């Protein structure tokens, strides 16, 4: 039984020419159109109501007039005088232009316009006038007055109150790519509209001129005050300069005053350098002489040998020494010639020593003179340098005072020039803006545009009505068409059962419709379900089907009885009433309640022959629920029930079990594990989709095989009108299967069913006499 194919496997593929998941995305717009078509009269009524209300509001509304004045703002003025330092001038024309726009909108300009032109005397702007209109009248009837309205109006109060009304209706905007500004005002009075725009434009121009005049006057007064102080500072600095010159005895320019002292200091510096060089030269010779200790070493020094007297004396001493040597060799020491030679040698040696001493003495004297001259020149140079430094200090202070005088003079001249320019500029102010086009009294109102309002209201009403219709349809979470079953439940549709008329609503009659009204749409839908079941289990000799639903009242028992009667016409069929808590099959078919049923058969207290009952006028065999056991779920969950079901499957080709709803008890979940397939019955436009999905999930978790979903109680007249479902019969089977799949799919679907019906010998019903 685990290998039994279900509806939706490869054997069922010919029934679907397209994948339903693909069709879902393609038919959403079609569904929207059908929803709008279904509620077209409600949408149209809603749109007419909205249009009527808008028309009434448009016709009772006060007409509003608009006047416009065009100004040209001079962002690049030709300046007669350069006075940017006195007041801020715009560096960027765009920022300047935007600044002027904000000034036009300022409350100061509006207050001045109201005060100058006495706009508060106009009836439409007068805050003292009673308010008109339905809302104002209603508020007045309630006894409420204007909040904050003074009992006695002063001119200041009138100006303040009127400025608010003017500001509310005033519109100021620049014209693109130009220096023009459009000033517009809306008012119920056309004259007031023109008056306000012209008043604001003129007030803005005058206000700007007045502001510029006040700025220049302020600058002029400030410059005059500053000039007096600058002039006094200039006089003081000039007098201080002259006093300093007289005090210091400065009567020449800077170059002449430094010429004598500077020249003297330069000469002294040159002589001092020469004296230092001379002293250094003599000092070197002096140090050499001082470093020699013996006479012979002193006589050999170059500085001594450079003296002519020393050279001559040294020659004479050498000659005397030679003669003495020669005499000593020839004569004795007592000889007169030897004595004479010795005396001459001694005299020559003394002369040489005396000459050397004279040279040394002269070197010492020369060193002392050079050192003394150097010191003298250093003192003279220091005195000359001090004199020059003193003159430099005096001239530096003189320069400071002269620069102060020059700075004060320049500041005074500049302010004097600005003061003259400002005094002249008071009389030569340029105009910041000028009127290009003055406002005139408008010839007609700009609003309300009754035609546009009515057309817009009609469009909005239709759009809002359509959106509400779609919203209501989206909020409806019930199954309305067979496409909803396939797209939202992801389960195949076994059949679609029409809603029964009041004539067929009786349960005793409705359970036999397949016999009593074989040509009815309901009977044909039952036969469609029978064909689907047979096609789903082609190779299985015995088919055990479980019929269940989510909640009571969905037509599950009626469908079970009719499906069993339809199968009984061609197959050995057994109908089992497994709803032991609320058994209804025995009552519907007027069966003997005293006979044993399913509970006795499973318990083993009765034989199958004793429990089975035949339905009069058909070949259907019914097994009632029997006596109500203490715990029906345990009975169905027992092995005896499984064995009983297997024994009955050997006797009958089709077994249909009517079970309780899955949301109330778990009986159907227990039975689903022992059957070939499960048919889930749901009521159209009644049972919520989440509840149906929950029941299907519970059955699948219990290993139940879903054969298909039977959509019950579908209003075919509305379905044909709104959703494109079935619409009558043709000569053989359905003449058209109008669904969201389209005509081609409907024809193929009908053709497929006709082919399957001929294959399995299903009788084709004759043409209907009248649709029930």
Query: For 709-739, what is each residue's pLDDT tens digit?
Result: 999 988 777 665 555 554 333 333 333 333 3
Of 710, 636, 708, which Cα lies nearest the Cα of 676? 708
- Give the mean model confidence (pLDDT) for residues 574-589: 89
Q: Which of 260-264, 511-515, 693-697 has the lowest mean pLDDT?
A: 260-264
Structure tokens at 558: 């009626």
Per-residue pLDDT for 3 more than 60? no
Whether pTM exceeds 0.85: no
| Residue 762 to residues 440, 511, 517, 563, 729, Cα–Cα distance (Å) | 90, 21, 17, 14, 16
* Contact criterion met (CB below 8 Å) for 656 and 574: yes
Radius of gyration of the chain (CA): 67
Q: 576 pLDDT band (50/70/90 cuts)?
A: very high
pLDDT of residue 739: 36
Give me the pLDDT at residue 131, please.
Answer: 63
Residue 109 clears pLDDT 80, i.e. is over it: yes
Query: Reading across the β-sheet that carries 433-437, which strands appear in turn?
Result: 170-174, 180-187, 65-73, 433-437
pLDDT band at 551 (very low <50, low <70, confident <90, very high): very high
pLDDT of residue 179: 84
404-408, 411-415, 526-530, 758-762: least confident range: 758-762
Q: Name the residue with tokens 């006596």.
A: 627
Confidence tier at 771 by pLDDT (50, 70, 90): very low
Mean pLDDT of 646-655: 92
Q: How high is the pLDDT of residue 253? A: 43
Q: For residue 653, what pLDDT is reported?
A: 92
Structure-token pair, residue 652: 């009958």
Confidence at 149, pLDDT banded by 50, 70, 90: low
Do 124 and 169 contact (CB within 8 A), yes or no? no
* 8: pLDDT strictly greater than 60: no
N- to C-terminal Cα distance for the chain?
Answer: 39
% of the chain at pLDDT higher than 90:
18
Q: What is the pLDDT of residues 535-548, one digit of tens each?
A: 888 878 888 999 99
388, 265 in Cβ contact below 8 A? yes
Q: Tell me the pLDDT tens digit for each residue of 182-200.
A: 999 988 888 888 899 999 9
CATH T-level fold of 10-37+477-759: Rossmann fold (3.40.50)
The pair phi, psi for residue 569, each rounded to 5°, is: -70, -20
Return the percentage of the chain with pLDDT > 70, whole number.
74
Beta-bridged to residue 441, according to DSSP, are none
Average pLDDT, the chain: 76
CB atoms within 10 A of CB 328: 15
pLDDT at 645: 92
Longest dimension (CA), the chain: 211
pLDDT bracket for residue 379 (50, 70, 90)? confident
Q: Yes or no: say if 623 and 658 are a contact pair by the CB < 8 Å rule.
A: no
Distance CA 143, CA 140 (A): 5
147 pLDDT exceeds 60? no
Question: Is there a contact between 449 and 55 (Cβ–Cβ < 8 Å)?
Answer: no
Question: What is the distance between the alpha carbons of residues 324 and 345, in angstroms, rounded to a whole number?
Answer: 7
Strand bridging mode 65-73 / 433-437: antiparallel
Per the DSSP assignment, residues forming a β-bridge with 654 are 543, 573
What secondary structure, in 3-state letters, does 528-587 show?
HHHHHHHHHCCCCCCEEEEEEECCCCCCHHHHHHHHHHHHHCCCCEEEEECCCCCCCHHH
**Which range is most confident: 51-60, 356-365, 419-428, 619-628?**
619-628
Length of the chain: 772
- Count of H-run helices and E-run strands, the chain: 28, 12
Confidence label for 300 from pLDDT (cuts 50, 70 and 90)? low
> Which of 381-395, 495-509, 599-613 shows the highest mean pLDDT?
599-613
DSSP 8-state assignment for residue 106: S
Contact status, residue 445 vs residue 452, Cβ threshold 8 Å: no
- Residue 162 scores a pLDDT above 80: yes
Per-residue model confidence (pLDDT) at position 249: 54
pLDDT at 143 over 70: no
Of the ranges 65-79, 134-148, 467-481, 630-644, which is most confident?
A: 630-644
pLDDT of residue 546: 95
Q: Among 5-14, 51-60, 103-112, 181-190, where is mean pLDDT lowest? A: 5-14
Asked whether the predicted pLDDT for residue 656 surpasses 90, the reply is yes
Ramachandran region of residue 703, left (φ > 0), alpha (ψ -120 to 50) or beta? left
C-beta separation of 76 from 93 below 8 A: yes
Binned at pLDDT 50, 70 and 90, residue 421 comes out as: low
- Domain locations in the chain as residue ranges: 10-37+477-759, 39-59+449-474, 64-77+96-206+430-437, 254-425
Lowest mean pLDDT among 273-277, 458-462, 560-564, 662-666: 273-277
* Residue with more model confidence, 771 or 377: 377
Are the C-beta atoms of 439 and 194 separated by less than 8 Å?
A: yes
**Lowest mean pLDDT, pick from 103-117, 473-487, 647-661:** 473-487
Write out the DSSP string of 244-287: HHHHHT--S-HHHHHHHHHHHHHHHHHHHHHHHHHHHHHHHHHH
The pLDDT of residue 695: 93
**In sequence order, what are the residues at sequence separation of 6 or more whose Cβ sits closer than 8 angstroms to the Cβ of residue 652?**
542, 571, 572, 573, 574, 621
């Amino acid at each position: 039984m685990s290998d039994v194919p279900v509806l939706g496997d490869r054997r069922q593929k010919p029934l679907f020419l397209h994948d339903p998941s693909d069709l879902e995305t393609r038919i959403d717009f079609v569904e929207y159109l059908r929803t709008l078509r279904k509620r077209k009269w409600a949408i149209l009524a809603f749109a007419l109501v909205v249009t009527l209300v808008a028309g009434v509001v448009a016709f009772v509304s006060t007409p509003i007039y608009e006047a416009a004045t065009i100004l040209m703002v001079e962002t690049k003025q030709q300046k007669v005088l350069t006075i940017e330092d006195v007041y801020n001038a715009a560096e960027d024309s765009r920022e300047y232009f935007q600044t002027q726009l904000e000034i036009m909108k300022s409350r100061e300009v509006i207050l001045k316009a109201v005060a100058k032109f006495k706009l508060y005397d106009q009836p439409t702007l007068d805050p003292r006038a009673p308010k008109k209109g339905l809302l104002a009248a209603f508020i007045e009837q309630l006894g409420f007055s204007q909040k904050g309205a003074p009992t006695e109006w002063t001119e200041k109060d009138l100006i303040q109150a009127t400025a608010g009304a003017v500001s509310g209706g005033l519109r100021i905007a620049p014209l693109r790519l130009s220096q023009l500004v459009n000033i517009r005002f809306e008012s119920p009075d056309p004259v007031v509209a023109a008056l306000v725009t012209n008043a604001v434009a003129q007030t803005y121009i005058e206000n700007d001129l007045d502001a510029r005049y006040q700025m220049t006057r302020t600058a002029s007064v400030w410059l005059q005050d500053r000039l007096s102080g600058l002039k006094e500072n200039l006089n003081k600095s000039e007098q201080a300069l002259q006093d300093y010159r007289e005090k210091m005895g400065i009567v020449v320019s800077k170059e002449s005053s430094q010429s004598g002292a500077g020249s003297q200091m330069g000469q002294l510096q040159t002589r001092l350098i020469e004296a230092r060089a001379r002293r250094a030269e003599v000092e070197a010779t002096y140090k050499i002489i001082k470093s020699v200790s013996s006479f012979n070493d002193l006589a050999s020094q170059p500085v001594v040998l450079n003296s002519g007297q020393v050279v001559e004396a040294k020659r004479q001493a050498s000659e005397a020494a030679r003669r003495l040597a020669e005499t000593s060799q020839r004569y004795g020491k007592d000889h007169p010639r030897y004595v004479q030679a010795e005396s001459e040698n001694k005299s020559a040696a003394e002369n040489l020593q005396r000459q050397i001493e004279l040279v040394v003495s002269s070197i010492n004297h020369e060193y002392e003179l050079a050192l003394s001259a150097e010191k003298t020149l250093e003192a003279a140079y220091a005195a000359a340098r001090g004199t020059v430094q003193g003159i430099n200090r005096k001239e530096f202070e003189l320069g400071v005072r002269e620069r102060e005088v020059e700075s004060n003079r320049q500041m005074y001249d500049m302010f004097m020039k600005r003061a003259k320019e400002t005094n002249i500029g008071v009389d030569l102010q340029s105009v910041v803006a000028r009127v290009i086009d003055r406002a005139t009294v408008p010839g007609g109102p700009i609003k309300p545009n009754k035609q546009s309002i009515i057309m817009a209201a009609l469009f909005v009403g239709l759009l809002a009505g359509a959106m509400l219709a779609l919203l209501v349809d989206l909020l409806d979470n019930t199954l309305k068409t067979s496409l909803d079953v396939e797209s939202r439940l992801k389960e195949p549709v076994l059949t679609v059962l029409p809603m029964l008329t009041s004539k067929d609503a009786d349960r005793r009659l409705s359970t036999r419709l397949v016999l009593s009204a074989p040509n009815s749409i309901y009977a044909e839908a039952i036969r469609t379900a029978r064909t689907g079941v047979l096609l789903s289990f082609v190779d299985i000799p015995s088919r055990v089907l479980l019929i269940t639903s989510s909640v009571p009242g969905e037509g599950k028992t009626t469908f079970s009885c009719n499906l069993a009667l339809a199968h009984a016409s061609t197959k050995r069929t057994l109908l089992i009433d497994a709803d032991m808590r609320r058994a209804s099959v025995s009552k519907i078919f007027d069966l003997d309640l005293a006979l044993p049923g399913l509970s006795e058969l499973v318990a083993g207290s009765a034989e199958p022959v004793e429990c089975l009952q035949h339905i009069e006028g058909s070949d259907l065999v019914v097994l009632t629920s029997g006596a109500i056991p203490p715990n029906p779920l345990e009975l169905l969950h027992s092995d005896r029930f499984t064995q009983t079901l297997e024994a009955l499957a050997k006797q009958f080709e089709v077994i249909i079990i009517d079970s309780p709803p899955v949301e109330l008890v778990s009986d159907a979940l227990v039975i689903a594990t022992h059957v070939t397939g499960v048919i889930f019955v749901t009521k159209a436009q009644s049972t919520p989709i989440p509840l149906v999905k929950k029941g299907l999930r519970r059955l699948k978790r219990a290993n139940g095989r879903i054969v298909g979903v039977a959509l019950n109680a579908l209003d075919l007249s509305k379905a044909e009108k709104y959703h494109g479902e079935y619409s009558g019969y043709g000569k053989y089977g359905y003449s058209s299967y109008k669904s969201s799949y389209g005509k081609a799919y409907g024809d193929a679907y009908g053709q497929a069913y006709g082919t399957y019906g001929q294959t399995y010998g299903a009788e084709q019903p004759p043409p209907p006499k009248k649709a029930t």
